[in-house]
Amino acid sequence: MTNKDLMQQVNEKAQKWLRSNIIDNESKERIKYMIENDENELIESFYKDLAFGTGGLRGIMGTGTNRINIYTIGMATQGLSNYLKQQFAGKKEINVAIAYDSRNNSRLFAEKTASVFSANGIKVFLFDKLRPTPELSFAIRHLKCQSGIVITASHNPKEYNGYKVYWEDGGQIISPHDKNIITEVQKIKSIDEIRFDHELTHVKEIGDKIDNEYIKQIKKLSLNPDIIKKQKDLKIVFTPIHGTAVDLVPKALKAFGFEHIDTVEEQNTPDGNFPTVKSPNPEEPAAMELALKKAKAVDADIVMGTDPDGDRVGIAVKNSENDFILLNGNQAATLLIHYLITQWKEKGKLKGKEYIVKTIVTSEILAEIAEKYDVQNYDVLTGFKYIADIIKQNEKVKQFIGGGEESYGYLAGEFVRDKDAVMSCALLAETAAWAKSNGKNLYEQLIDIYVEFGFYKERLISIVKKGKAGEEEIQKMMDNFRNNPPQTINHSNVMLIHDFLKQKTFDQLSHLRYEIDLPKSNVLQFILKDGSKISIRPSGTEPKIKFYFSVNEKLERKEDFEKVNKLLDEKIDAIINDLGIGS
């Protein structure tokens, strides 16, 4: 597309909004300003329509078809309403649940979403105040809804917001529903076709009753209440980082029996500006600084921080020098899955039909742990919606123990179908209590796992490329790796190339090709002779291309941990250097 064609397309979209009877005057004035004064912003705002990625609809808040606002959300909701009426045509009443996080405009967007559903004759259960995303998943199932929406941009910066769509199983939408909903949205020729019900005729507020049921189910996940009784004074520091988990994580911890819970006062107030952090992402060390400061002051055993919508959790533990260190998502998942499987085994709960689920970019040590205990492991594409789909497929046939992804999301039990930081905080605290009852902290427990199963180390590099030009640059990088794959990386032969877009595995030795039985996804994976794994994928929710590195070595004894750790770091550095990737 030439620049002339692009500008024609952008201007046509902008003029449609200006001619609309439904667009408010403030938005129209903003469009006029961009036309007259800010061509770049006009292009970024109108060059495309927001599309569903791994997390649904997500983008920068503002005016335009490529921005999150009440109209793009209204279009999505109108399309979803039309689709729900088709899918559940025989039902007397269609129900949806709506939750929202602490971001700016989240309550407004939730109310506008409810308004469109209501105008379409769909009954809405709207939470009375902000709630964690996993509770929305629970509420859909508990209230027997056909769909659900949560207004959130998860851990993105404050400029973002989003719109996650869930289906009646409580999981995020997957194919064919995601594509079909987009098709319905695209059928809407004018923004004026959006229906709004300003009286909210079919809307019912929900609140504490759902909270109590949710916490009740989380409490049932506890595997060692007797150990918690003995370790009830385990020192826990928790921060919601200005988000939705501010009330429910402490409630879940108390329901498990923990009594010593310190919170970070400066971050206890929900605030969409996230004033104490640059980014409200527990994956980033800066977001956990205040929690670590508090932990040092109270000599905590474990530190936990959740993202704004309460589905991801980062943790910190003491190392052998008694200093707090942050664990990455793979390490936390390793501790949690190991604890769940070993305790299921110890309590005679393993009957041969149990399984775990992890994503293709998550540490292979989880599969190693599962294999030892004859627990089946499923690998799925990135996105917790695929983990939810496996749970749905196996209902009443096999039993889900737990699952996780490297991006700090974990789940146990089957009553929630999305990553859940509320239950994860409770279960990770229980894991810490169990380790302490065995004379260890979580750091020492992790090293013992490495001695038994091999030392797996992972690293993630995200390269940010913003806007239309960045999107094109990311695709060019993917095309180059796909069309000109390396034969060796860091002096180790590339044995297998998994191309999830072509749904093919290429065996570099036999030159044979194998089918990949997973949905299409723009992901490449290189498996090296030395056991290293390199995965490359554009983010579905942010302007980033992500490189995941996984290496492993035997750890014969725990005294060798630092030496092997250094060796693995050097191996990852060498791989990055060989691929020519900067952080």
The set of catalytic residues is: 154
Q: Which of 88, 140, 546, 104 is nearest to 359 (CA)?
A: 546
- Beta bridge partners of residue 213, listed in sequence order: none
Q: 467-470: long-range contacts (C-beta < 8 A, 24 or more apart)?
A: 467/44, 467/543, 468/43, 468/44, 468/47, 468/48, 470/543
Maximum Cα–Cα distance across the chain: 71
Separation of alpha carbons 575 and 224, rounded Å: 42
**CA-to-CA dists, residue 227 to 249, 300, 336, 345, 348, angstroms:** 20, 18, 16, 17, 18
Helix 365-372 with 442-453: angle, nearest 10 deg: 70
Determine the length of the chain.
Answer: 583
Short-list 138, 137, 125, CA closest to 213? 138
Q: Rounded distance, CA 34 to CA 351, Å?
A: 63
Q: Which two structure tokens, joined as six digits, stand for 121?
A: 């004759």
263 and 238 Cβ atoms separated by less than 8 Å:
yes
> What type of residue is 6?
L
CA quadruple 122, 128, 134, 137: dihedral, nearest 10: -20
Across 223-374, the runs of DSSP E, i.e. the strands, are 236-239, 261-263, 302-306, 313-318, 324-327, 354-359
Distance of CA 456 to the CA centre of its chain: 22
Tokens of 254: 């108390």
d(CA 368, CA 351): 19
Nearest in space to 240 (alpha carbons), one of 276, 211, 269, 218: 269
Say how far apart CA 155 and CA 306 lie, in whole Å: 9
Q: Are the CB atoms for 493 and 487 separated by under 8 Å?
A: yes
